[in-house]
């Protein structure tokens, strides 16, 4: 048989502690109860001292509640309900301050007609437990148990049953204690109230341990300990660990007992630290209130001396306020005007930059194209004079190529200008990539034939992209035109797709032309219109095509990349979002 004395003392102390807060376990009840108190006592707020008493009560300022309730009672109050409220506030305050005998006296003065008399019996039962007057506590709780106040009973039923069980346990009436404790466990088990179950199972363990039913007692202690692990209540964690330490010590399992004892000490230290923090916070709050009260008193004294000056200060303040508001108004107007001017200047700078870019293109590329065309026409005239028709066809083909490049330049210039002013129509839809590439390439077949370029289109029928059709065609035209322009005689151009991204389809335009240096490749990928110097001065280029391509690709939520080796060829890679397919 296990040893009892040390364990019983520890457990009885624990049971006594957990029953100190009858309403602490009812988280919503105090708030509702305070609202009911406030509404029911509204008819008496005309009494200054009572109004202050109630205000301090609702603010949980117990000392101030006691002071002003005493002042109210000293005024020879004739209204019995008003007296009952004063006694109730005083008793509740004494209870909270743990002056239980005084609280008991004040509660006993309240008449049975008081609206909250059922609560009075609950608190008297709670105080009786604190004073270890267990039979008196049972009498009070029995009154509540038989009460017709169903609303109150529904809120406190579990706690009343549990408190009765604890009282009978202390009186060693074990059958009654077991009946009430088992009933009190039913609701928390349904609601899965971990904290309450940990406490209640611990008390069940005490009950059975007291009766030497060790096996059943220990099972309840173990349940309580396991549940305490998932709570944040240090007190419960501490006491459940202590219970298990005593159990294991009595079972001669000293290593286990030591482990639980260490856990108990850990939670005890945490609880002490928490209590210290709360105590410091309480002291700081009281000090702040006292300081505030001193400040209020001082301000009242100062206000009496400043009544004569106040009007003058008020008029001065109003004048200053008007001046300040006027200043703020004009300042805001100035800021607003400055902001508008700054915005307009930025827009103008952007337009000037655009203008400079256009003039740069016109002066550089357009002039170069026209000079080349002029020179070619002069050669054509020279060949026609002696009827040298063999060279005429060659010159005509050359002129046709230059005119086509010039047309592409003007088209790019127009499209770029539209993209800058945001006046172009734009709609992203699902597009069949093969069909679009075939349409664009068709117009370039004669140029490829002229240079004897071998062209291959390996784009799959299944490749679908999300893009605006017209802007995508502009990108294709420019990239194919560049591929033809920089390809040598008998070169090759290949179109194909690759899937290196889950969300994007990569269209590759690959040629075996002149290629470019790494410096040129990086320069082309920058956000600039023209290269500092063209790498192939003999080629008539737009200088705008790649920039226009980058703008259109970005607008279509795509990506652009270049891979090139000087003298071997170039890959232009356009990555556009894949179209979503059904199924």
Query: In the 3-class helix/strand/coil scheme, how is 269-332 assigned residue by residue?
Result: HHHHHHHHHHHHHHHHHHHHHHHHHHHHHHHHHHHHHCHHHHHHHHHHHHHHHHHHHHHHHHHH
Look at the chain and count its residues: 583
| Cβ atoms 395, 385 nearer than 8 A | no
User: What tokens appear for 145 in the block?
Assistant: 């148990």
Q: Which domains does the chain have, with CATH numbers?
A: 24-157 (1.25.40.10), 425-577 (3.30.565.10)
Please report the sign of the dihedral spanned by the C-alpha atoms of residue 280, residue 286, residue 292, residue 295. negative
CA-nearest of 102, 110, 122 to 85 is 110
What is residue 573's predicted lDDT score, i.e. its pLDDT? 94
Other C-beta atoms lying within 10 Å of the C-beta of residue 227:
22
Of 224, 251, 258, nearest in space to 240 by CA: 224
CA–CA distances in Å: residue 258 to residues 3, 205, 218, 235, 578: 17, 20, 17, 19, 67
Structure tokens given for 250: 């009595």
Host H or E run for residue 574: strand 569-577
- Measured between alpha carbons, how far is residue 204 from residues 25, 141, 174, 175, 178 in Å? 18, 20, 11, 12, 8
Instruction: Check residue 559 and give its pLDDT.
Output: 93
Which residues on adjacent β-strands are paired with residue 571?
510, 563
Residue 422 burial (C-beta neighbours within 10 Å; 0-12, 13-18, 19+): exposed
* CA–CA separation, 243 and 263 (whole Å): 11
Q: How far is CA 396 from CA 193, 373, 380, 390, 393, in A?
A: 96, 10, 8, 11, 5
Q: How many C-beta neighbours within 10 Å does residue 262 have?
A: 11
Token representation of residue 219: 């099972």
pLDDT of residue 414: 64
The radius of gyration of the chain from alpha carbons, rounded to an integer in Å, stands at 47
Sign of the Cα pseudo-torsion (537, 541, 543, 545, in order) = negative
- pLDDT for position 18: 35
Q: Which two tokens stand for residue 78?
A: 């004739």
- Provide the pLDDT for residue 375: 61
Q: Which two tokens stand for residue 500?
A: 């290196």
The HSE-up count of residue 45 (CA atoms within 13 Å, CB side) is 10
**Alpha helices (H) along 306-431:** 307-361, 367-384, 389-421
List the chain residues with pLDDT less than 50. 1-29, 31, 529, 531-534, 537-538, 540-542, 583
């Amino acid at each position: 048989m296990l040893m009892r004395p040390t364990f019983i003392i520890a457990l009885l102390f624990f049971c006594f502690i957990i029953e100190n807060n009858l309403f602490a376990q009812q988280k919503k009840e105090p708030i509702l109860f305070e609202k009911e108190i406030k509404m029911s006592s509204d008819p008496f707020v005309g009494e200054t001292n009572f109004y202050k008493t109630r205000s301090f009560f609702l603010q949980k300022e117990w000392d101030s509640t006691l002071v002003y309730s005493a002042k109210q009672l000293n005024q020879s109050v004739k209204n019995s309900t008003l007296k009952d409220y004063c006694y109730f506030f005083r008793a509740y305050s004494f209870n909270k301050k743990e002056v239980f005998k005084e609280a008991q006296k004040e509660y006993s003065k309240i008449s049975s007609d008081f609206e909250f008399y059922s609560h009075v019996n609950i608190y008297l039962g709670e105080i009786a437990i604190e004073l270890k007057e267990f039979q008196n506590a049972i009498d009070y709780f029995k009154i509540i148990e038989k009460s017709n106040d169903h609303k109150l009973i529904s809120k406190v039923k579990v706690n009343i049953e549990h408190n009765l069980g604890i009282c009978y346990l202390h009186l060693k009436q074990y059958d009654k204690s077991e009946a009430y404790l088992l009933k009190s466990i039913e609701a928390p088990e349904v609601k899965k109230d971990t904290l309450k179950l940990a406490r209640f199972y611990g008390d069940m363990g005490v009950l059975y341990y007291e009766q030497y039913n060790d096996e059943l007692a220990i099972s309840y202690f173990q349940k309580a300990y396991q549940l305490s692990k998932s709570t944040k209540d240090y007190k419960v964690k501490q006491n459940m660990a202590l219970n298990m330490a005593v159990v294991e010590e009595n079972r001669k399992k000293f290593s286990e007992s030591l482990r639980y004892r260490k856990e108990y000490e850990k939670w005890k230290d945490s609880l002490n630290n928490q209590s210290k923090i709360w105590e410091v916070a309480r002291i700081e709050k009281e000090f702040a209130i006292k300081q505030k009260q001193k400040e209020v008193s001082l301000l009242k004294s100062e206000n009496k001396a400043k009544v004569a000056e106040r009007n003058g200060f008020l008029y001065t303040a109003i004048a200053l306020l008007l001046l300040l508001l006027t200043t703020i108004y004009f300042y805001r107007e100035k800021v607003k005007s400055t902001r508008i001017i700054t915005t307009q200047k930025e827009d103008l700078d952007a337009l000037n930059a655009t203008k400079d870019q256009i003039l740069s293109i016109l002066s550089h590329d357009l002039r170069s194209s026209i000079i080349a065309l002029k020179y070619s026409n002069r050669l054509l005239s020279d060949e026609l004079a002696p009827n040298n028709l063999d060279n005429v066809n060659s010159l005509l083909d050359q002129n046709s190529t230059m005119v086509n490049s010039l047309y592409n330049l003007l088209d790019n210039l127009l499209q770029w200008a539209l993209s800058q002013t945001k006046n172009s129509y734009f709609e992203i839809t699902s597009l069949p990539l093969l069909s679009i590439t075939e349409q664009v390439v068709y117009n370039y077949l004669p140029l490829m034939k002229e240079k004897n370029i071998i062209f291959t289109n390996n784009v799959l029928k299944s490749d679908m992209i999300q893009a605006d059709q017209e802007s995508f065609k502009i990108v294709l035209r420019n990239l194919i035109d560049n591929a033809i322009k920089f390809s040598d005689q008998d070169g090759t151009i290949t179109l194909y797709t690759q899937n290196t991204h889950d969300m994007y389809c990569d269209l590759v335009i690959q040629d075996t032309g002149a290629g470019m240096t790494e410096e040129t490749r990086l320069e082309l990928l920058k956000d600039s219109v023209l290269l500092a110097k063209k790498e192939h001065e003999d080629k008539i280029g737009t200088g705008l095509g790649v920039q226009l391509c980058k703008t259109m690709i970005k607008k279509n939520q795509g990506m652009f990349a270049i891979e090139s080796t000087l003298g071997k060829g170039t890959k232009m890679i356009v990555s556009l979002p894949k179209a979503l397919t059904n199924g």
